[in-house]
Amino acid sequence: MPSRASASTWSSRAPARAASTVTRRWVSLSFCVTSLDCTSQFGGSIGHQDSTHNCHRPRRSYSGRPQRRHLDGIRRSARCGHDRRGREYPSGARPAIAGSGVAGVPNRGRQYQRGAANHHHRRAAELARLPAGLRDPAVQRPGAGRNSPVNARPPANFASDNVAGALPEVIAAVTDAAQADAMPYGNDPWTERVTARLRGLFESDLWAFPVATGTAANALALSAVCPPFGTVFCHALSHATTDECGAPEFYTGGAKLTLVDGPDGRIDPVALAAAIAVARPHGVHNMPPAAVTVTQASEAGTVYAADHLEAIAAIAKENGLVLHMDGARFGNALAALDVSAADATWRRGVDVLSFGATKGGAMAAEAVVFFREELAAAFGERRKRGGHLLSKMRFVSAQLDGYLSGDAWLRAARAANAGAARLAAGLAATDGVALVREPEANIVFAQLPLPVLDALEADGFGFYRAGDEGSVRLVVPWSVTEADVDGFVAAVRGHLADVD
């Protein structure tokens, strides 16, 4: 890096002079920077400007460096003979995305990545540019690998909801928000409109606070309802305890997460009551119960029915606990339950909701929703202190505004759920494949022979290996088509025939 002194005159030096003061990898970038007229037509400077020295600093080039993408807290499988099968992975799952290296070089170390492999995005973009005839499912070759011709459909990615792009309504809303100036820090029309939309949706005079991520929504929400010396009860599979890197503990200032058992990813009310009863046997020497958090839809692909949620809420209220709902896939749960948003939340005893939109079709937008005013009293300060009061908050709120407009979010959720049902039906009708459970939302768990999983990985299909050998988690995002689902099922059947 150039020194601060040299940086102060960076924009005025000749290219040759600039190149002599930096490392080799900066040469091309420094040439571009010094060749530019560093004053805009409005008299402002171009690029990053140092407030003290009025200088321009070149941005470091990261070309050639592999991009790391976190995959829901679960390590992605290494390729090229570096498979780590048999090790324990976060969440008890092992991912299976083909091509984890760059230019044939396998990933090194313990890499944690989110989202799809880059080639899936490139292939999807190529497909979108093709004429309609070439995109027709009839030209699909089931099991086509990553090097297949461009006129074949790319293998579908069932690794996560996050592999999908953004809904057109979301893109349009963000584009609209970028056309004019607006007051910062949430004092804008989009944030105001989102609050109004949520109040209408939930039929409640609620208090809503947009944030950028689901982890922030959960952790900040729990920090508002649990003191540093308290404990929060959650299921052992909940995102709060398995995939948030201690964020709830961090934002609460030291609160404890107490795990509660229950089949199929749902808290058992009887087990919850028992856990609360023994939580503080020695009074001040133990952490007092403060809250319960449930995930709707759960990490196991199941949903809490109304009576189940009411039973948990009743136990929480009897013991003076707040009930929080992690609604990262709230749209999928609501579409599955076919009830109103109010009937799925506060009318069943929910006090706080992390309203998820990112998995459902937004880019990066969630909202912490309080149904009790006293719980939201200091949340504005908590959000600011936690770094989630964005200066240009309208771009988060605009996503939520577009997401909630015209039932776009529910249409997307229904499409994802329907895709999961179609996928489950196709796999269930295939000899050699067993469903772990019937999906209730947009997540399918199945058992397949290991050689078939290896072959699907080689084809380029995206999914996670979960738990036992041969068990996979298949998440159907809103963007997956029937042809994508049918292509995966056809590939499974083709590889099963090869194994036989």
**pLDDT tens column, 274-316:** 999 999 889 899 999 999 999 999 999 999 999 999 999 999 9
Between 25 and 353, the more confident residue is 353
| Spatial distance between the Cα atoms of 31 and 189, rounded to a whole number of angstroms | 43
| Spatial distance between the Cα atoms of 274 and 236, rounded to a whole number of angstroms | 15
Q: Over the stretch 176-203, which tens digit does the pLDDT of each residue have?
A: 999 989 999 999 999 999 999 999 999 9
pLDDT at 164 over 60: yes
| Mean pLDDT of all residues in 100-110 | 35
| Spatial distance between the Cα atoms of 186 and 188, rounded to a whole number of angstroms | 5
Helix 408-428 vs helix 394-404: angle between axes, to the nearest 10 degrees? 70
Q: Kindly tell me the sign of the dihedral angle through the C-alpha atoms of 96, 100, 106, 111.
A: negative
pLDDT at 16 over 90: no
- Residue keyed to tokens 């009025």: 54
User: Given this model, what pLDDT does residue 152 score?
Assistant: 61
Closest residue by Cα to residue 128 from 481, 491, 487: 481
Percent with pLDDT over 70 in the chain: 69
Closest residue by Cα to residue 379 from 226, 223, 244, 248: 223
Confidence of residue 37 (pLDDT cuts 50, 70, 90): very low
- Residue keyed to tokens 């200091």: 378
Closest residue by Cα to residue 71 from 426, 390, 462: 462
Q: In what order do the strands lie in the sheet with 434-435?
A: 93-96, 463-466, 471-475, 443-447, 434-435
| Mean pLDDT of all residues in 78-104 | 38
360 within 8 A of 332, measured Cβ to Cβ: yes
Q: Check residue 438 and report its DSSP letter.
A: -
Domains and CATH numbers, the chain: 4-57 (no CATH), 90-162+414-499 (3.90.1150.10), 168-408 (3.40.640.10)
Q: Is 220 left (phi over 0), alpha (psi -120 to 50) or beta?
A: alpha
Cβ count within 10 A of residue 419: 26
Give me the phi and psi of 355, to 5 degrees please.
Answer: -85, 110
pLDDT at 40 over 70: no
Which letter, b or e, does each residue of 286-298 get, where b requires 16 or more Cβ atoms within 10 Å of its Cβ?
Answer: ebbbbbbbbbbbb
75-79, 361-365, 434-438: segment of lowest average pLDDT: 75-79
User: Given this model, what pLDDT does residue 499 score?
Assistant: 82
Q: Over the stretch 410-467, which tens digit does the pLDDT of each residue have?
A: 999 999 999 999 999 999 999 999 999 999 999 999 999 999 999 999 999 999 998 7
pTM: 0.71
Percent with pLDDT over 90 in the chain: 66
**Three-class SS state of 256:** strand
pLDDT at 265 over 70: yes
| Spatial distance between the Cα atoms of 478 and 485, rounded to a whole number of angstroms | 12
User: Given this model, what pLDDT does residue 467 score?
Assistant: 74
- Residue keyed to tokens 């995959």: 71
Confidence of residue 92 (pLDDT cuts 50, 70, 90): very low
SS3 content of the chain, % helix, strand, coil (to 5): 40, 15, 45
* 3-class SS letters over 367-417: EEEECCHHHHCCHHHHHHHCCCCCCCCHHHHHHHHHHHHHHHHHHHHHHHH
User: Given this model, what pLDDT does residue 156 score?
Assistant: 95
Closest residue by Cα to residue 106 from 86, 81, 84: 81
pLDDT at 30 over 60: no
348 within 8 A of 306, measured Cβ to Cβ: yes
Structure tokens, 360? 């459902």
- Residue keyed to tokens 């990053």: 48
| Spatial distance between the Cα atoms of 467 and 465, rounded to a whole number of angstroms | 7
| Mean pLDDT of all residues in 164-168 | 97
- Residue keyed to tokens 């003979």: 81
Q: Supply the mean pLDDT for the chain.
A: 79
